[in-house]
Structure 1
Amino acid sequence: MQDLRTIGQKAKAAARQMRLADAQAKNEALEEMAQAIEAKAAQIIEANQEDLAKGQEAGLTEALLERLTLTPDRIQGMANGLRQMASLPDPLLVTDKEWINRDGLRISRRRVPLGVIGIIYESRPNVTVDAAGLTLKAGNSTILRGGKEALTSNQTIVAILQDALAETQLPREAVQLITNPSRKLASQFMQMNDYVDCLIPRGSAGLIQAVLKQATVPVIETGEGNCHLYIHEAADFDKALKILINGKTQRPSVCNALENLIIDEQVASDYLPKFVDALAAHNVEVVGDHKACSIDRRIALAQEEDFAQEFLDLKLAVKITSSYAEAVEHIEAYSTGHSDAIITENYQVAQDFMNDIDSAAVYVNASTRFTDGEVFGFGGEIGISTQKLHARGPMGLEALTSYKYTIQGDGQIRS
């Protein structure tokens, strides 16, 4: 069994070095890591194929297998993400504010790394590279604990990243992986307060709740995505159809995919059958309330829990509403606070929606699939936070920092 104490000690020592690393050293390390990922792409694919074979034998769903799969394009995307991180401004070269108080003290608030960041995640081995790169750029060290279904892929990727770091000025222990999938070991990891400054869980609702219940280390909660698309009575049909199909079918296994469709009854009879036609072409199962079922017989009657479900699959729940207020009420009741969208040509309704919906990302006439750190220009993301403390939405470099106050005086004492 792995010695978590040793891993923690190495991570703590690496964090001290990382805190003092300059921007050039970090950027050079990111480029070295990107080149290594590209050079060893075939090795990563081979490892990933082994995980996929085991996953199929274990009966993983198609959605989970899709999240697990690495392709040459996805591997190139991982390398490109590291380079994009290198091109971003160093978040530690920031003084948030500075002032001189009444005692003549110069007080500054400066950005600093969080320290050692533990990341617990499932299925998606590309998260390994995103997490390693972002934490490094922000001056932290990281301990990764991926899911057992991606173990071979993650071991291969981390070994490649560590070998790349060994060629730079930064410590290879800045990125470490827990390779033992034991749940007992995972629980111990969540309580390593002496070594881990922050935990970030990324995955299913079950994983996130398990971390929240067991962890004594401070947790930044990333949430499940029960995302809504509301078709307002003043919606443009072509925009609505295009955004619906993109949001539901482009990659249904991810947290920013659509799970709920809301349609104003003024346009439902005209729009809904056409939506169902297009969804059927993508093999999407559609369930809905009684009004939706009465409009199109292909729609099965939804259960109450369907409206609260993150399907992560080709399934969609439909709600017909009589007013804007009812639509907002439905979103408030069932949204997980991740990403919600409205399609409307009414300017005032669009502004109201952005004010009324209390989610991390609120869209007007655009797909929820854009809720992504790389798309937002963050060079990737460590997760998407649905909480309101410290970080919210796609978590890029700034979310991996804190701040400290520095106070400069000239002999002042307090009277």
Structure 2
Amino acid sequence: MSELLQKASLAKQATLQLSTSTTKQKNEALQKIADQVKKDKELILEANKKDLAAARSRNLSESIADRILLTKERLTYMADAVENLIDLTNPVGQSMAEWVRPNGLKIKRISVPIGVVGMIYEARPNVTLDAACLCLKTGNAILLRGSSSASFSNRAIVKSIRSALENTELPLQSVQQLEDKSRETVREMLRLNEYLDVLIPRGGRKLIDTVVQEASVPVIETGAGNCHLYIDATANVEMAVSIAINAKTQRPSVCNAIETIVVHRDWANSHLDLLIDSLQQKSVIIKGDKHALERSSFAIEPAEDVDWAEEYLDNMVALKIVTNIWEAIDHINHFSSKHSEAIISESIPNVEAFFQSVDAAALYHNASTRFTDGFEFGFGAEIGISTQKLHARGPMGLSALTSYKYLIEGDGQVKC
């Protein structure tokens, strides 16, 4: 039996015990995992150094290296996120609705685990811990297939998780890591309907498109983040510049960083140079349309058609000038990956138009898109940010990892 089939089978077997595990048992396991990760911090960081060295030897970009990078602060944040899950309500077994039919049948809809979650992801070793712990809290088993770029880090984190699970009442086989990185194995995983109940891809556009197009296992699409910031004519200047800087440069390599700034012509006529200068002081490369090039006193690069759809994940941003909010909305809806979009404006009608007309999982008024995150939303952590509309949308916390079933109570009813 191949590694994939063996580990998928073990994960499937673990779901029966997981589905009947108590909240207390799950929370005790999460605490032990958080403690073990803290205990193994130096071992995990040493493993991470190997991944970073390999990334540099392959000349991977700094943005990819940043996604791989773990620090003491990031590890502490990751462990804290696990502990935050303990305080959150267990979404499994909750009564979602109850009613009685005219024939006396009592029907109840309750939340249940999904089963086995297959996770295919690139870089980002934090996903290993977040995804595993979210699944454990919701009674799901998980099969992790990370990329080779973070293999040492992922292996060290899974070792900590499984070491902690050995001293809990949850099945050790709940968390499985696939070591085989071959494309053939990935293709087989995409069609493993017998064992996997859902696939969640996290990574670049190419990875996500491949999973969506080739999988027969149901997929929750976590789309790329081509996020926009629209600066309206009435935008507060200091606020607009501050949010643009934060949304682009606070951590450019993540999916909720902005990639395009759309600016109303009237605001640009007075304040565009301030915006461009502030971005360039942060080493941001700016690609502007012809109107931005005409208005700028600073040297910026001309934008090409491909730039409006690009997820840079780097210190680079596209800049477009528009004549009204509807032109901005049309541009955003055309190029958006339906992740996160923001408007800076003091016009209530324009904000309402933006909120009603822009199609994305998260819309912001006078705030940075960097808050699209499970932890920031109060979910404890996230297994991904869904850009689709079915089942789950936006940051996916605990409730997104549940399904439901109906329980019907009768007293002898038969259908005539």
* Bin for the TM-score computed over the shorter chain: over 0.9
CA change 1:283–1:2 in 2 (3 A) is farther
Q: CA deviation at 1:269?
A: 2.1
Structure 2: distance between partners of 1:51 and 1:139: 31
Answer yes or no: is 1:138 the counterpart of 2:138. yes
TM alignment of 1:66-215, pairs within 5 A: 66-215=66-215
- Asked whether the equivalents of residues 3 and 178 of structure 2 are also in contact (C-alpha less than 8 Å), the reply is no
Find the aligned partners of 2:197 and 2:356 in 1 and give their Cα distance: 34
Partners of 1:104 and 1:308 in 2: CA distance? 56
The secondary structure found in structure 2 opposite 1:354 is helix
Q: How far off its partner does 1:213 sit?
A: 2.0
1:317 aligns with 2:308: no
- Taking the aligned partners of 2:8 and 2:331, their CA distance within structure 1 comes to 45
* Distance in structure 1 (CA, Å) of the matches to 2:28 and 2:400: 22
Question: Matches of 1:267 and 1:116 in 2, distance apart?
Answer: 51
CA distance in 1, matches of 2:166, 2:86: 18
Whether contact under 8 Å (1:226, 1:258) holds in the other structure is yes
* CA distance in 2 between partners of 1:172 and 1:295 (Å): 62
Q: Where does the alignment leave 5 or more consecutive residues of structure 2 unmatched?
A: none
Aligned to 2:305: 304
What SS does structure 2 have at the residue aligned with 1:252? coil
Q: Partners in 1 of 2:326 and 2:353 — Cα distance?
A: 10
1:75 & 1:317 partners in 2: Cα distance?
Answer: 33
Counting aligned pairs with the same residue, the percent is 46
**Separation in 2, partners of 1:315, 1:3:** 41
> In structure 2, the residue corresponding to 1:78 is in which secondary structure?
helix
Q: What is the aligned partner in structure 2 of residue 396 from structure 1?
A: 397
- In the other structure, the counterpart of 1:60 is 60
User: How far apart in 2 are the matches of 1:236 and 1:375?
Assistant: 25
2:280 match: 280
Note the residue ranges of structure 1 that are not aligned, 5 or more in a row: none
- TM-fit CA distance, 1:93: 3.5
Query: What secondary structure sits across from 1:21 in the alignment?
Result: coil
The answer as to whether partners of 1:343 and 1:365 remain within 8 angstroms in 2 is yes
Look up the match of 2:21.
21
Q: Any idea what the Cα deviations from partners look like across 1:70-103, whole Å, max 9, x if unmatched?
A: 0001101111011011110000141110011111
1:195 CA displacement: 0.5
* Residues 91-148 of structure 1: CA deviation (Å, up to 9, x unaligned): 0141110011111011000000000000000000000000001011111000000010
Secondary structure (helix, strand or coil) at the match of 1:228 reads strand
3-state DSSP of counterpart to 2:277: helix
Aligned residues: 415
Distance 1:227 1:120 in 2: 23
Residue matched to 1:37? 37
Matched residues in 2 for 1:300 and 1:5: separation?
51
Amino acid at match of 1:47: A
Q: How does 1:342-381 map to 2 (within 5 A)?
A: 342-381=343-382
2 CA distance for matches of 1:278 and 1:24? Answer: 51
In the alignment, residue 98 of structure 2 is paired with which amino acid? E
User: For 1:74 and 1:356, how far apart are their aligned partners in 2?
Assistant: 37
Does the 8 A contact of 2:3 with 2:180 survive in 1? Answer: no
Q: Which runs of 4+ in 1 moved over 3 A?
A: none
Q: Secondary structure at the match of 1:127?
A: helix
Measured after TM superposition, the shift of residue 179 of structure 1 is: 1.0
C-alpha contact 1:243 1:367 (8 A) present in aligned 2: yes
Q: CA RMSD in A?
A: 0.9
Tell me the TM-score normalized by structure 1: 0.99
Find the residue that maps to 1:112 and give its secondary structure. Answer: strand
Q: CA deviation at 1:2?
A: 5.0
* SS of corresponding position for 2:381: coil
CA distance in 2, matches of 1:282, 1:356: 32
Aligned to 2:386: 385
* Structure-2-length-normalised TM-score: 0.99
